[in-house]
């Protein structure tokens, strides 16, 4: 069954205010944290940003300082979309997929 818990949205970005960031009805949870939007991701990639996979508990805090956490992958390979702000709380044996700026 597909429900709100398994549907994610990412605003386009660049609109005047937060209310204008969503077009139509909001049906899913916000992906990648409260400040992430498509415009930010496109800008990071255009300027040479890279997707990086790091151990969830063995990562370099300098690497993650400006990175956008996207997913946590469990030891069984199941991905979880990160939706909160702040640093991810990774578990031993898990991996983080982040978008790191150039």
Most confident of 1-5, 18-22, 23-27, 30-34: 30-34
Cα separation values, 97 from 3, 4, 15, 42, Å: 24, 23, 27, 16
Which helix (H) or strand (E) is 68 found in, with range? strand 68-73
Q: Which domain holds residue 57?
A: 4-100
pLDDT, tens only, 30-69? 899 888 888 999 999 999 999 999 888 776 677 777 889 8
Domain count, the chain: 1
Residue position matching structure tokens 């969830």: 56
Handedness of CA 91, 56, 99, 62 (dihedral sign): positive
53 is written with which tokens?
Answer: 């996979």
Given pLDDT bands bounded at 50, 70 and 90, which one contains residue 26? low
Q: Is 101 exposed, middle or buried (0-12, 13-18, 19+ CB in 10 A)?
A: middle
pLDDT, tens only, 76-98? 999 888 887 666 777 888 899 99
């Amino acid at each position: 069954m597909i429900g709100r818990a398994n549907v994610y949205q990412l605003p386009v970005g660049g609109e005047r205010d937060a209310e204008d960031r969503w077009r139509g009805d909001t049906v899913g949870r916000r992906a990648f944290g409260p400040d992430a939007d498509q415009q930010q991701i496109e800008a990071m990639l255009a300027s040479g940003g890279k997707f990086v996979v790091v151990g969830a508990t063995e990562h370099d805090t300098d690497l993650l300082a400006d990175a956008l956490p996207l997913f946590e992958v469990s030891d069984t390979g199941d991905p979880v979309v990160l939706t909160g702000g702040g640093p991810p709380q990774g578990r031993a044996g898990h991996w983080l997929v982040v978008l790191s700026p150039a």
